[in-house]
């Protein structure tokens, strides 16, 4: 389906380190199918890598609302929280 195709295209762009283009595809996949948790997770990973911890955590929370068994999202959420706290402790 279209949402899966957009997510997969976003993955290719992510692996090419084309983060802005990947996020566009993930967001388009979400708009096509709002209950598809994978593009939220993938977009959260990009946001995390860019240091946008609050936005990444929002996406990881959405993943877990849609699929509480999504273990990678739970782990990524915990890591984003830890890294945000570390960043704040260092005064960034």
* CB contact at 8 A, 25 and 13: yes
pLDDT given at position 48: 97
* pTM for this model (two decimals): 0.93
CATH superfamily for domain 2-90: Tetratricopeptide repeat domain (1.25.40.10)
The answer to whether the beta carbons of residues 45 and 26 sit under 8 Å apart is no
Per-domain boundaries in the chain:
2-90
d(CA 37, CA 4): 11
Residue 91 pLDDT > 90: no
Taking the C-alpha atoms of residue 29 and residue 37, their distance in angstroms, rounded to an integer, is: 10
Give the N- to C-terminal CA distance of the chain in Å, as an integer.
Answer: 42
Contact criterion met (CB below 8 Å) for 15 and 49: no
């Amino acid at each position: 389906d279209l949402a899966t195709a957009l997510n997969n295209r976003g993955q290719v762009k992510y692996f090419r380190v084309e983060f802005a283009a990947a996020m566009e595809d993930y967001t388009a996949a979400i708009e096509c199918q709002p209950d598809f948790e994978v593009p939220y997770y993938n977009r959260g990973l990009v946001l995390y890598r860019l240091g946008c911890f609050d936005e990444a955590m929002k996406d990881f929370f959405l993943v877990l609302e849609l699929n509480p068994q999504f273990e990678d999202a739970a782990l990524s959420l915990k890591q984003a929280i830890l890294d945000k706290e570390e960043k704040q402790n260092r005064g960034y």
